[in-house]
Amino acid sequence: MKRRKKRMAKIIDGKLISAKIKTAIRAEANTLKEKGIEIGLAVVIVGDDPASRVYVNNKKKDCEEVGFSSFEYALPGETTQEELLKLVGELNNDNQVNGILVQLPLPPHINENKVLSAICPDKDVDAFHPENVGHIMVGDYKFLPCTPAGVMEMLDDAEIEVSGKNCVVIGRSNIVGKPMAMLLLHKNGTVTICHSKTRNLKEICAGADILVAAVGKEKFVTADMVKEGAVVIDVGMNRNSEGKLCGDADYNACFDKASYITPVPGGVGPMTRAVLMKNTLTSAKMKNNI
């Protein structure tokens, strides 16, 4: 019996690529500082969700690393929608603030869409405002949403051609799946979006040249869903039974079939953070007509 030769995927190292991006951002921020331009990011967190707390702390660290000021607003879980909207209004008018990020999820009594729509589009560094979403649809944008843009940077860094490829995105959230599909389409990928009502999910995934998983379920992507030589991009961030961070892909099994794979941790996560810094820099440059 002929045995399948074991393939070893190349790892796309998000930590390394994001470090390169942040170094370039720091250099630009220093140049702007010499011209008297300081860059600031405001991060708003409502409640005490531990995962959100970690993300906010990481964003503060990133700001320090690239030489931005960070302004944190940690509001209690009982904060009303009106109070939050008032704060967003103040930040919109604050000259020290170039980017405003409201950490999601918000408590259930607050309408997320209302809050995101209240952020000034020029300071919407997450690119979740409907105006920015529309710009992304037509391919004429100021900011790209951080996670999908981070994925595109990874594909670019690894010199993976998207044009003409079968791209399958699992997940259709507004923050990952939908914009991810749009960015792949802009690069001329032939894109299929899968979700919880998709029939023949395994077969569809097994036809992908580029498979992006943004589901939020540990070991959701199994080896039989991966075509030999496919590129596997794992957006998922889950905790396994030991409490360790893991993605959506059964990493070891997929590693043997894929040509490229992104690890978790150290893959898409750091890229998302780097793009947030990039968007904040872009906002500061736009404000100063640079």
Q: What are the tokens at 88?
A: 């967003």
**Residues 272, 280, 282, 283: which binds ligand NAP (CB under 6 A)?**
272
Catalytic residue IDs: 59, 103, 126
Q: Which is nearer to ligand NAP, 177 or 263 (CB)?
A: 177
CB-wise, 7 or 202, nearer to ligand NAP? 202
We find the least distance from the C-beta atom of residue 224 to ligand NAP, in angstroms, to be 15
Interaction between residue 194 and ligand NAP (CB under 6 A): yes
- What is the rounded distance in angstroms from the CA atom of residue 2 to the CA atom of residue 7? 15
Pick the piece of the chain touching ligand NAP (CB under 6 A) from 38-46, 90-98, 191-199, 255-263.
191-199
Residue number with CB closer to ligand NAP (9 or 225): 225
Q: Which stretch binds ligand NAP (CB under 6 A): 93-101, 130-138, 157-165, 214-222?
A: 214-222
- Residue 67 in contact with ligand NAP, rule: CB under 6 A: no
The piece of 94-102, 106-114, 135-143, 195-203 that touches ligand NAP (CB under 6 A) is 195-203
**What are the angstrom distances between the C-alpha of 113 and each of 97, 128, 136, 175?**
21, 9, 17, 12
Q: Which of residues 236-255 bind ligand NAP (CB under 6 A)?
A: 236-238
Residue 39: CB partners within 8 Å, gap ≥ 6?
29, 32, 67, 68, 69, 98, 280, 281, 284
Q: Is 47 in the site for ligand NAP (CB under 6 A)?
A: no
User: What amino acid occupies position 21?
Assistant: I
User: Does residue 147 interact with ligand NAP by CB under 6 A?
Assistant: yes
Point out which span in 84-92, 117-125, 131-139, 194-202 binds ligand NAP (CB under 6 A). Answer: 194-202
Q: Is 133 in the site for ligand NAP (CB under 6 A)?
A: no
The yes or no reply on residue 173 touching ligand NAP (CB under 6 A) is: yes
The answer to the question of residue 268 lying near ligand NAP (CB under 6 A) is yes
The site for ligand NAP (CB under 6 A) is made up of 147, 170-173, 175-177, 194-198, 201, 214-216, 235-238, 268-269, 272
